[in-house]
Structures are given as structure tokens and as C-alpha cells.
Amino acid sequence: MTIVYIILLVLAAMAFILAEILTPFFGLMATLALLAGAAAVYLCFGVSSAAGLAGLVLLAIGLPVYAVVLVKLLPRTPLGRRVLLTPESRPPGEATPTAGRLAALVGKQGVAETVLRPAGMIRIDGRRIEAQAESQHIQAGARIRVVRAEGNFVVVRTVDGA
């Protein structure tokens, strides 16, 4: 009968670790898992010293390995996909509200309102926009062309012949 209690306590410890990973109890479930494991080891020592040492070693190695396996495999299961947050991969600057509008400016020409060393302000189609010079300083009043949009600003170069 003692073996049944040991098995139930080990299963309870495993369930508490799973609950700790899935819920925000901030260590309460992990503490209960450790207490259940300690109780299982105590009962193992009640059977014999060899069983107690074996139970201690198995739980000291097995529970952390079980927790790591859960953390690695749980996001791939249907339950994990429903419960855990997964990061979305987005290109840099996609989440900014102006990213789409700035991307539409690629290829357009305008005028540098301030000196770009390498950053400054430009004006295109009557709009004042933050910009960065592609490779060199650009003087105020110089004609520029947008070569690409990156996040909240555009990268510009001077128009040939300006």
C-alpha cells in the first residue's frame, strides 16, 4: 500500500509542476510539488534505506528534467498553443502606425529641411518627415530621394546633379 502512496505523491508532484507552468501562482505550485516529492522520498525511506536513496536520486534528477521537457514540448501541444502566448515574427517597424505610409514614399523626391548628419528632417509632398542620410551629410535645401523606409524614418540620398 505504501508503494501506491509513493506513486500518487510522485504523480501529484508532476501535476503541480504542470500547474506551475500553466498558471500564475508564482511558486505556490512548485512548493507543493517539492512537498509532494519530499513526502514520497520520506515514504521510500520507510520501505528501506536503499529505496529511500533511490527515490531521492530519481526525484532530484527526474522532476527538473520533467519540468524542462514540459517547457520545451508544451508549446507544441494543442493545450499549450491555446494557453501559452507565442511571439509573432514581424519585420522591424511593421508595428509602427506610420510604417505603411513611409514605405509608400520610397522613390519620391523632396527637400532636406535641416542638415542631415546623418539624421534630420525632410519635406515630401508638403509633409515633414524624419529622415536619415544613407552615407554622407546632406545640407539643408538639397534635393533628396527616398531609397528605403526603416521603422519610423526613411533613408535618403541626394538626387544626382543637385
Residues 20 and 70 in one domain: yes
pLDDT bracket for residue 55 (50, 70, 90): very high
Residues 20 and 74 in one domain: yes
β-strand partners of 110:
144
Q: How far is CA 16 from the centre of its chain?
A: 25
Tens-place pLDDT, residues 100-146? 788 888 999 999 999 999 899 999 988 899 999 988 889 999 999 99
Residues 12 and 70 in one domain: yes
Alpha helices in the chain (DSSP H): 2-22, 28-47, 49-73, 78-83, 99-103
| Cα–Cα dist 63/133, whole Å | 56
Residues 78 and 110 in one domain: no
Domain encompassing residue 37: 2-83
pLDDT bracket for residue 30 (50, 70, 90): very high
Residue 141 backbone class (left: φ over 0; alpha: ψ -120 to 50; beta: rest): left
Supply the mean pLDDT for the chain. 89
| Whether the Cβ atoms of residue 131 and residue 120 lie closer than 8 Å to each other | yes
| Cα–Cα dist 122/137, whole Å | 13
Residues 105 and 58 in one domain: no
Tens-place pLDDT, residues 70-90? 999 988 899 888 888 777 666
Q: Does some domain include residue 90?
A: no
pLDDT of 97 reads 61
Residues 9 and 56 in one domain: yes
The CATH number for 138's domain is 2.40.50.140
Q: Does some domain include residue 92?
A: no
Percent of the chain with pLDDT over 90: 64
Q: Does some domain include residue 91?
A: no
pLDDT bracket for residue 4 (50, 70, 90): very high
Whether residue 24 is predicted with pLDDT greater than 70 in this model: the reply is yes
- The kind and range of the H/E element at 147 are strand 143-150
Residues 21 and 73 in one domain: yes
Residues 79 and 6 in one domain: yes
